[in-house]
């Protein structure tokens, strides 16, 4: 298969999956037809049937044309035309023909027509070749052939299409020119179909004609630069033409350009031929004395792009206005066969359009938005939604957009697929909405939508009203603060008086218990001892008296604890720490267990409630009792700390550790410790000690 045939096949496969919309015709008007009107209408009925259609016998040696009028104007980015010759007669197809389109409201043969430049052209049975003036020539014999032509068109309403057929010589030996190579030199067009496609790319150079100033190397052609296939490429055949050689791309009309993209060969060969490029844009066909509207250079330092990369060129790469219809590309590189290009893409400048604004679901009039008159957002709006779409029609449906609201955020946000951008309404003030359109090559268009917004204030938010309100609030606040301060002072004085009275009562109770109950219990204990000495008693009686005396002493000790708890003079961390140290020494010393104490000298002057001291003391004594009963320890380390508002008690022994059957929430001693501390907001954790014993950590927030 020849390279150009493979090229066309790849193009056909690339576009075959795009959904098309069939175009319906209203009428067909030929310059001449040998058949009836009913036969002509069969050409546009959408049914593939032969035997009848458009034929011109006996006027087979004259140029012929036929105007196909659309039912409705068509706006699309691409057209696919199918010309069927299904008569069953050999070679009953055109020799040479051309296509053109019009936007006239009433199309007719002598009206204004624009050439339809073929992008793809292929045939079943014959071979279609492109000739000057966008003509297509059919070579080869065929039976029941079909021509398929695809062309990119400008996105403006198309109302009709003209098909022109030209007579040509069949061979140098035959001087006559005919419109067909059939036996009677007549053609029979049996079906003509047109399908419209939306644009799939914002590359406006796709499929546009390209010419070269000199012969191209090998079997390749200049139009490979705009075929959309990076696998094809072109460069001059002669090695050292320098600036004399150029490619010239016709964009169809003057276009405002956002950026150009240049692609080199993808196989890694001769990458250095894409350097020292000279670029120029013209509004009119370039001539000897015509100055370009924009001129730029690219990779003037002799560098070249890496394999697989693309070069993006914007207006700042040159001087002038970045627009034009004709793009010329040449090179002054010393590398032979420069420039070598695989693809040239031109992206027209696109702008975003603000279609609507909704504030809390209500439409906002877009009467403003200019530099002098911003769009007014009503006061009190909480949520804004913007409808943003590309300003141009019939662009790819998946074209991305992004937006931001200057004054609120600097980063860009994506617009949803339905064109909606929304967010919380900013505070009253002046803002600017910006939006950009993204191209199909992933580049964001530099032209940006700018719309000023003014979020209005409520009437009560106006400065004079606010100042007056602030003055009134200030006066009321001063009066309220004074009144509240006096009220709080009164409550504090009452609370202090109540606490002072309560402390006095607690001190009296502690004093009475110590003086009255304590003295009676002490007297009772002494009397038991005296009674045992003065009377001859049996051994059992003496033992009973001793037990009674011990019980009295235990009652005295318990009474001391209650007195310590009740006495308000002990409501401090320092007294609590001293008492815990005293209890540890008193409890462990008779058991010959040495008690080491790590206690700060200075304590925070924080008050501790009597109930809290009481629960801590009982939990602490429970821990001491566990050491005595189960640890078999010889030493105990007591550590007391107050850090970050937490009072910590650490009791570590060097014993054998608690047996497994004593660990668990069902054991009374451990459960009581946990429950008592939990009652005052504390915790208790029991774990193995560092030296093999048991560690008890109590933490109580103060």
User: Do both 32 and 161 map to the same domain?
Assistant: yes
Residue 171 lies in a domain: yes
Residue 237 lies in a domain: yes
Residue predicted with more confidence, 573 or 172: 573
CA 170 to mean position of chain CA atoms: 63
pLDDT tens-digit map of 422-475? 999 999 989 999 999 999 999 999 999 999 999 988 777 667 877 887 888 889
pLDDT at 5 over 50: no
Instruction: State how far the Cα of 151 lies from the Cα of 116, in Å rounded to an integer.
Output: 7
- Return the pLDDT at 572: 85
- Return the pLDDT at 576: 83
Starting from the edge strand earliest in sequence, which strands make up the sheet with 449-455, in order? 375-377, 449-455, 429-437, 401-406, 413-414
- Return the pLDDT at 9: 45
Within 8 A by CB and 6+ apart from 485, the residues are: none
Residue 354 lies in a domain: no
Grade residue 546 by pLDDT with cuts at 50, 70 and 90: low
Burial 37-71 (b: 16+ CB within 10 A, else e): eebbebbbeeeeebebbbbbbebbeeebbbbbbbe
User: Do both 11 and 147 map to the same domain?
Assistant: yes
pLDDT tens-digit map of 20-73? 789 999 999 999 999 899 999 999 998 877 788 999 999 999 999 999 999 999
Grade residue 369 by pLDDT with cuts at 50, 70 and 90: very low
Residue 115 lies in a domain: yes
Which of these ranges, 153-157, 275-279, 446-450, 551-555, has the smallest mean pLDDT?
551-555
Q: 148, 121, 145, 147: which is closest to 134 by C-alpha?
A: 121
pLDDT tens-digit map of 129-166? 888 888 999 988 888 899 999 887 876 789 999 999 99
- What length does the chain have? 702
Residue 244 lies in a domain: yes
Residue predicted with more confidence, 516 or 646: 646
Beta bridge partners of 647: 642, 700
Grade residue 15 by pLDDT with cuts at 50, 70 and 90: very low
Q: What stretch of H or E contains 469?
A: helix 463-512
Final residue of a structural domain among 569, 594, 619: 569
Residue 359 lies in a domain: no
Instruction: State how far the Cα of 699 lies from the Cα of 646, in Å rounded to an integer.
Output: 6
User: Do both 476 and 556 map to the same domain?
Assistant: yes
pLDDT at 298 over 50: yes
Q: 224, 285, 228, 279: which is closest to 252 by C-alpha?
A: 285
**Mean pLDDT value across the chain:** 85
Q: What is the mean pLDDT of residues 636-650?
A: 91
Domain extent at residue 562: 462-569
Final residue of a structural domain among 438, 458, 478: 458
- Return the pLDDT at 566: 66
Range list of H helices, 513-609: 518-534, 539-566, 573-588
CB contact at 8 A, 95 and 166: yes
Q: CA-CA-CA-CA torsion for 44, 47, 52, 57, nearest 10 degrees?
A: 40
**Does this model's pTM top 0.75?**
no
Grade residue 12 by pLDDT with cuts at 50, 70 and 90: very low
Neighbours of 667 (CB within 10 A): 14
pLDDT at 355 over 80: yes
Q: What is the mean pLDDT of residues 182-203?
A: 90
Residue predicted with more confidence, 564 or 76: 76
Instruction: State how far the Cα of 564 lies from the Cα of 621, in Å rounded to an integer.
Output: 15
- Return the pLDDT at 560: 62
Q: What is the mean pLDDT of residues 517-546?
A: 62
User: Do both 548 and 594 map to the same domain?
Assistant: no
Q: How many domains does the chain fold into?
A: 5
- Return the pLDDT at 561: 65
- Return the pLDDT at 283: 95
User: Do both 578 and 679 map to the same domain?
Assistant: yes
User: Do both 234 and 191 map to the same domain?
Assistant: no
User: Do both 153 and 74 map to the same domain?
Assistant: yes
pLDDT tens-digit map of 647-680? 999 999 988 886 665 544 445 667 888 888 898 8
User: Do both 299 and 341 map to the same domain?
Assistant: yes
Final residue of a structural domain among 348, 383, 400: 348
User: Do both 222 and 328 map to the same domain?
Assistant: yes
pLDDT at 11 over 70: no
CB contact at 8 A, 488 and 392: no
pLDDT at 341 over 80: yes
Instruction: State how far the Cα of 385 lies from the Cα of 132, in Å rounded to an integer.
Output: 53
- Return the pLDDT at 50: 75
CB contact at 8 A, 425 and 382: yes
User: Do both 17 and 73 map to the same domain?
Assistant: yes
User: Do both 377 and 319 map to the same domain?
Assistant: no
Q: Which tokens in the block code for residue 123? A: 């045939």
- Return the pLDDT at 587: 83
SS (H, E, C) 50-118: CCCCECCCCCCCCCEEEEEEEEEEECCCEEEEEEECCCCCECCCECEEEEEEECCCCCCCCCCCEECCC
Q: What is the mean pLDDT of residues 282-298?
A: 92
Instruction: State how far the Cα of 548 lies from the Cα of 550, in Å rounded to an integer.
Output: 5
Q: 354, 434, 430: which is closest to 388 by C-alpha?
A: 354
Which of these ranges, 259-268, 512-521, 538-547, 608-617, has the smallest mean pLDDT?
512-521
Q: 200, 221, 203: which is closest to 212 by C-alpha?
A: 221
Q: What is the mean pLDDT of residues 254-261?
A: 95
Q: 247, 250, 248: which is closest to 217 by C-alpha?
A: 247
User: Do both 603 and 671 map to the same domain?
Assistant: yes
pLDDT at 13 over 50: no
Range list of H helices, 567-685: 573-588, 610-626, 668-679
CATH of the domain at 263: 2.60.120.260
Burial 484-514 (b: 16+ CB within 10 A, else e): eeeeeeeeeeeeeeeeeeeeeebeeebeebb
The C-alpha angle with vertex 132 and arms to 128 and 137, in degrees rounded to 5, equals: 25
- Return the pLDDT at 302: 92
Instruction: State how far the Cα of 91 lies from the Cα of 188, in Å rounded to an integer.
Output: 10
Q: 352, 366, 360, 388: which is closest to 452 by C-alpha?
A: 366
Grade residue 614 by pLDDT with cuts at 50, 70 and 90: confident
- Return the pLDDT at 121: 86
């Amino acid at each position: 298969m020849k390279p150009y045939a493979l090229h066309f096949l790849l193009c056909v496969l690339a576009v075959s999956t795009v959904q098309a919309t069939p175009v319906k015709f209203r009428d067909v008007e030929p310059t001449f037809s040998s058949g009836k009107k009913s036969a002509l209408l069969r050409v546009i009925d959408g049914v593939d049937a032969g035997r009848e259609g458009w034929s011109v016998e006996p006027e087979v040696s004259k140029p012929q044309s036929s105007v196909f009028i659309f039912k409705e104007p068509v706006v699309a980015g691409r057209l696919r035309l199918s010309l069927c010759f299904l008569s069953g007669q050999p070679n009953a197809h055109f020799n040479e023909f051309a296509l053109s389109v019009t936007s006239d409201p009433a199309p007719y043969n002598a009206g204004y027509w624009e050439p339809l430049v073929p992008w793809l052209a292929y045939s079943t049975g014959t071979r279609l070749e492109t000739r000057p003036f966008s003509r297509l020539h059919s070579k080869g014999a065929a039976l029941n052939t079909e021509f398929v032509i695809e062309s990119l068109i400008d996105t403006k309403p198309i109302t009709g299409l003209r098909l022109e057929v030209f007579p040509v010589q069949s061979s140098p030996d035959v001087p006559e020119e005919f419109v067909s190579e059939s036996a009677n030199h007549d053609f029979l067009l049996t079906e003509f179909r047109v399908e419209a496609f939306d644009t799939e790319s914002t590359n406006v150079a796709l499929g546009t004609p390209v010419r070269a100033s000199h012969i191209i190397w090998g079997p390749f052609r200049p139009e490979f630069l705009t075929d959309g296939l990076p696998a094809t490429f072109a460069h001059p055949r002669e090695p050292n033409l320098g600036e004399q050689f150029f490619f010239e791309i016709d964009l169809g009309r003057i276009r405002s350009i956002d950026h150009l993209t240049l692609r080199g060969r993808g196989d890694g060969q001769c990458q250095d031929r894409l350097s020292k490029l000279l670029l120029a844009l013209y509004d009119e066909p370039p001539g000897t004395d015509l100055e370009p509207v924009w001129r730029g250079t690219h990779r003037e330092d002799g560098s070249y792009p890496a394999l697989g990369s693309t070069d993006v060129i914007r207006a700042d790469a040159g001087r002038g206005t970045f627009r034009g219809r004709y793009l010329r590309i040449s090179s002054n590189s010393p590398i032979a066969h420069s420039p070598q290009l695989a693809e040239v893409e031109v992206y027209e400048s696109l702008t975003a359009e603000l279609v609507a604004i909704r504030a809390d679901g209500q439409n906002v009039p877009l009467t403003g938005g200019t530099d002098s008159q911003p769009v007014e957002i009503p006061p009190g709006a909480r949520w804004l939604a913007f409808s943003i779409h590309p300003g141009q029609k019939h662009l790819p449906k998946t074209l991305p957009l992004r937006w931001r609201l200057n004054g609120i955020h600097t980063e860009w946000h994506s617009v949803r697929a339905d064109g909606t951008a929304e967010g919380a309404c900013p505070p009253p003030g002046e803002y600017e909405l910006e939006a950009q359109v993204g191209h199909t090559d992933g580049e964001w268009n530099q032209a940006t939508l700018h719309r000023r917004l003014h979020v209005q204030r409520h009437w009560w938010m106006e400065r004079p009203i606010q100042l007056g309100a602030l003055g009134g609030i200030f006066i009321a606040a001063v009066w309220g603060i004074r009144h509240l301060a006096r009220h709080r002072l009164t409550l504090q004085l009452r609370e202090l008086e109540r606490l002072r009275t309560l402390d006095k009562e607690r001190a009296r109770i502690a004093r009475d218990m110590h003086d009255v109950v304590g003295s009676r219990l002490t007297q009772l204990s002494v009397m038991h001892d005296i009674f045992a000495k003065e009377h001859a008693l049996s051994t059992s009686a003496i033992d009973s008296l001793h037990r009674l005396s011990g019980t009295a002493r235990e009652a005295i000790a318990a009474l001391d604890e209650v007195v310590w708890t009740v006495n308000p003079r002990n409501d401090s961390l320092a007294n609590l720490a001293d008492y815990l140290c005293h209890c540890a020494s008193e409890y462990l010393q008779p058991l010959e267990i040495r008690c080491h104490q790590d206690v700060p000298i200075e304590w925070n002057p924080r008050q501790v409630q009597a109930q809290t001291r009481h629960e801590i003391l009982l939990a602490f004594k429970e821990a001491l009792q566990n050491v005595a009963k189960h640890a078999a320890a010889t030493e105990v380390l007591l550590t007391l700390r107050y850090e970050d508002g937490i009072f910590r008690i650490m009791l570590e022994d060097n014993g054998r550790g608690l047996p497994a059957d004593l660990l668990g929430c069902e054991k009374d001693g451990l459960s009581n410790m946990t429950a008592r501390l939990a009652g005052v907001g504390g915790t208790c954790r029991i774990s193995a000690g560092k030296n093999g014993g048991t560690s008890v950590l109590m933490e109580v927030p103060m």
